[in-house]
């Protein structure tokens, strides 16, 4: 008797776990799932009735008692089966949910590691790029036996100290990044012997805010790289930082561009702006806007970053 009851009970439970949940419930066919589950339990109850109740009926006298026995067996079987099906279904779904969550966390960890690796590669790319350009400028001055070369070397040492020791983290203090930019501009002024006006203006307070390191320098470097030199040529470089909104950063760069910005060269060989664009995509997805315009020999870069 107990064997028959347990056999039908187990058949209903496992049919639900192995067939109904994967084929119907997980595919969100809930109405068909409920109908099928009721059908399975009814079928199992029929077998209980056929294999257990009817054989007992031979030894029971009285139709009313037999009907009451049938009802009790059906009710108890259906009741306990529904409870057990509900509990096992819940546990099965919870187990799968935890497995999916674990896989999701693992995928996020993998994506994070991939992101970190790419960011490190991009940062490692910008460091020698900056160093190469600066050393090339110093080399040109040494060929001319210029007295400015020692000053450039000292400025370069300060800049490289920041790059090597302060830029290892994903984010740095914004005021430190601004100090780096000021030192970089001083280096450019020494190199160019103040042949073009360079103006940097800061609006608002940069204290306590953080930013990804070395995002601004390649954009500013581009102004000197493709700029028009000499006051007689109308050359200039204007840089404006706006931090009036503590959760928002704005950078505007304007310079006179005699030959225009060679986009094809930047696409094929230059890494500065391409590097910045990729890092912005990784670090500030959907939270940045970068515009580059070259009109009437006036080159403009506008960068906006949402820090919230």
Whole-number pLDDT of residue 24: 83
Same domain flag for 72 and 168:
no
Give every CB contact of residue 25 below 8 A, 6+ residues apart in sequence: 33, 89
Give the CB-side neighbour count of residue 79, counting CA atoms within 13 A: 6
Looking at the chain, how many residues does it have? 308
Same domain flag for 162 and 87:
no
Same domain flag for 81 and 151:
no
Whole-number pLDDT of residue 60: 57
pLDDT digits (tens, 9 = 90+) for 167-216: 878 889 999 999 999 988 988 887 777 678 889 999 988 777 899 888 89
Whole-number pLDDT of residue 62: 52
Residue 64 belongs to some domain of the structure: yes
Single residue among 53, 84, 106 that ends a domain in this structure: 106
Same domain flag for 71 and 218:
no
Q: Please report which residue ranges of the chain form alpha helices under DSSP H.
A: 2-15, 30-48, 54-57, 63-143, 149-161, 174-192, 217-225, 263-268, 272-283
CATH number at residue 204: 3.30.565.10
Same domain flag for 193 and 269:
yes
Q: Are 141 and 151 in contact (CB under 8 A)?
A: no
Same domain flag for 154 and 60:
no
Which residues span the domain enclosing 61?
2-106
Same domain flag for 157 and 263:
yes
Whole-number pLDDT of residue 267: 47
Query: Which of 14, 72, 82 is CA-nearest to residue 42?
Result: 82
Whole-number pLDDT of residue 227: 63
Q: Within the chain, which residues score under 70 in pLDDT?
A: 1-6, 49-74, 110, 113, 116-130, 144, 146, 194, 226-233, 258-271
Whole-number pLDDT of residue 100: 84
Same domain flag for 152 and 288:
yes
Residue 215 belongs to some domain of the structure: yes
Same domain flag for 182 and 288:
yes
Residue 120 belongs to some domain of the structure: no
Same domain flag for 82 and 163:
no
Query: Which of 150, 132, 154, 133 is CA-nearest to residue 141?
Result: 150
Single residue among 106, 123, 158 that ends a domain in this structure: 106
Whole-number pLDDT of residue 126: 61
Same domain flag for 301 and 215:
yes
If one counts the domains in the chain, the total is 2
pLDDT digits (tens, 9 = 90+) for 5-20: 667 778 888 888 888 8
Same domain flag for 93 and 164:
no
Whole-number pLDDT of residue 82: 78
């Amino acid at each position: 008797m107990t064997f028959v009851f347990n056999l039908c009970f187990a058949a209903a439970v496992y049919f639900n776990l192995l067939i109904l949940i994967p084929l119907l419930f997980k595919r969100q066919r809930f109405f068909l799932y409920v109908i099928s589950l009721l059908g399975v339990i009814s079928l199992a109850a029929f077998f209980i009735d056929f294999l257990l109740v009817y054989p007992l009926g031979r030894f029971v006298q009285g139709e009313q008692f037999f009907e009451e026995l049938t009802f009790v067996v059906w009710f108890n079987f259906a009741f306990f089966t529904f409870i057990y099906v509900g509990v096992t279904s819940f546990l099965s779904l919870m187990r799968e949910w935890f497995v999916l969550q674990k896989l999701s966390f693992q995928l996020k960890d993998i994506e994070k590691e991939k992101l970190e690796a790419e960011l490190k590669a991009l940062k490692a790319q910008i460091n020698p790029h900056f160093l190469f350009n600066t050393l090339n400028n110093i080399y040109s001055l040494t060929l001319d036996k210029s007295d400015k070369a020692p000053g450039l070397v000292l400025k370069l040492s300060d800049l490289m100290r920041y790059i090597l020791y302060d830029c290892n983290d994903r984010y740095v203090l914004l005021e430190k990044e601004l100090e780096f930019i000021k030192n970089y501009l001083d280096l450019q002024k020494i190199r160019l012997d103040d042949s073009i006006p360079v103006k940097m203006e800061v609006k608002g307070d940069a204290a306590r805010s953080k930013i990804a390191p070395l995002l601004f320098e390649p954009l500013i470097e581009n102004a000197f790289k493709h700029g028009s030199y000499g006051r007689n040529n109308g050359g200039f470089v204007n840089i404006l930082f706006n931090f009036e909104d503590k959760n928002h950063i704005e950078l505007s760069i304007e310079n006179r561009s005699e030959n225009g910005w060679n986009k094809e060269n930047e696409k094929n060989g230059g890494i500065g702006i391409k590097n910045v664009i990729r890092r912005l995509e990784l670090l500030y997805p959907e939270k940045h806007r970068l515009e580059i315009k070259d009109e009437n020999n006036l080159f403009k870069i506008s960068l906006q970053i949402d820090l919230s």
